[in-house]
Amino acid sequence: MRPLGPRDVDAVCERVVARVAAAAERSALLQGTLDREALRRAVASVAPAWVARSRGRILGHLATALVDASRGRAWVPPDGASFDGPAVLGALVAAAAPAWRDAGADGFSAWVYDEPSEVGAWTACGATLRARRRVRVLPSTPGPHAGTGLGLRRAGIGDLEVALTLDRWGDPPAGPVPGESERRREVADLLGDPDVDYLVAELEGRAIAQAVVMPLASRRGSRGDAVHLSAVAVDPGRRGRGLGSALVESVLERARSAGYAVAEVNWRTADPRVERFWRGRGFTPTHALLEGPLPA
């Protein structure tokens, strides 16, 4: 194990490009190409990053995109790690841990491909599955209209109190949930962001569900033509009656007519019903978020 130096940059970039291309071959939902110059700049500028070498060959690398000191986590993006086997990853994490700790982290979060070899290798490093991402191709023509009577409107900052209630409906039953002032700040930011569609679904004049929708042009690990859905939540007293499905279909129809080709959703809950909900709406798993403590 040693810090990634200027002479390693080209070889690491080749590993990342090959990894991304291989993943896209396994699933058409994954982006198969990268902006090589941007990747080169990112790899060369992340310090410290680590490489595993044996007999002059690179067997793996680990480059943290940023340490989010406010949450005490080192973040590893989907192209931030490569490893020829779980033992190589374990050694890379052990080598990186002191620098992550010095930067204020006490744990790591890694977005990885949702495949047993990747999830298993991070689990062997002490990480736990915390969230998943699923992706779905949008049709090129309008779908049939179910006629549920559900009205969808874009909420603004004047809807803050309603949006706070709807946002609470999305809290995972076993937590963690944000503090009230943090929630207020986050929801207000989303309502005021011109790039975000904060959508409220109404039935007979009452707000009964929400979805937050935004473009994802520049995030690594997502397709450039993807729209991102989050915070999908239905009134707890009205679940299981098709409202969530109707909401998602309307949201996807909006996205389709706005020109998006795929939609992706992340969620942070282990509830198998939520997994089933997204599977039933045609979403396929692509990425998993693994989180763990730093090794001692």
- List residues bridging with 228 in a β-sheet: 214, 264
Report the residue number, 185 or 241, with the smaller CB distance to ligand COA: 241
CB of 247 to ligand COA, least distance (A): 7
CB of 234 to ligand COA, least distance (A): 4
CB of 30 to ligand COA, least distance (A): 21
**Which alpha helices (DSSP H) does 109-171 contain, by range?**
116-124, 160-169
Report the residue number, 158 or 237, with the smaller CB distance to ligand COA: 237
Report the residue number, 242 or 293, with the smaller CB distance to ligand COA: 242
Closest Cα partner for 63 from 220, 216, 168?
A: 220
Give the CA count within 13 Å in the CB-facing half-sphere of 178: 15
Distance, in Å, from the CA atom of 38 to the CA atom of 20, rounded to the nearest integer, reads 15
Residue 40 — left, alpha, or beta (φ > 0 → left; ψ -120 to 50 → alpha)?
Answer: alpha
Distance, in Å, from the CA atom of 188 to the CA atom of 158, rounded to the nearest integer, reads 9
CB of 243 to ligand COA, least distance (A): 4
- List residues bridging with 61 in a β-sheet: 51, 82
Report the residue number, 52 or 135, with the smaller CB distance to ligand COA: 135
- Nearest residue to ligand COA on Cβ basis: 244
Give the CA count within 13 Å in the CB-facing half-sphere of 264: 24
Distance, in Å, from the CA atom of 188 to the CA atom of 119, rounded to the nearest integer, reads 35
By the criterion CB under 6 A, which residues form the site for ligand COA?
169-170, 230-234, 239-245, 265, 267, 269, 273-274, 276-277, 280
Report the residue number, 245 or 284, with the smaller CB distance to ligand COA: 245
Report the residue number, 11 or 177, with the smaller CB distance to ligand COA: 177
Distance, in Å, from the CA atom of 270 to the CA atom of 290, rounded to the nearest integer, reads 13
Residue located via tokens 């080169």: 40
CB of 131 to ligand COA, least distance (A): 9
Report the residue number, 52 or 191, with the smaller CB distance to ligand COA: 191
CB of 29 to ligand COA, least distance (A): 18
CB of 276 to ligand COA, least distance (A): 4
Q: How do strand 57-62 and strand 50-54 relate by DSSP bridges?
A: antiparallel
Distance, in Å, from the CA atom of 191 to the CA atom of 213, rounded to the nearest integer, reads 11
Determine if the peptide bond prior to 48 is cis (ω within 30°): yes
Q: How many CB atoms lie within 10 A of CB 179?
A: 8
Report the residue number, 43 or 246, with the smaller CB distance to ligand COA: 246
Distance, in Å, from the CA atom of 83 to the CA atom of 280, rounded to the nearest integer, reads 34
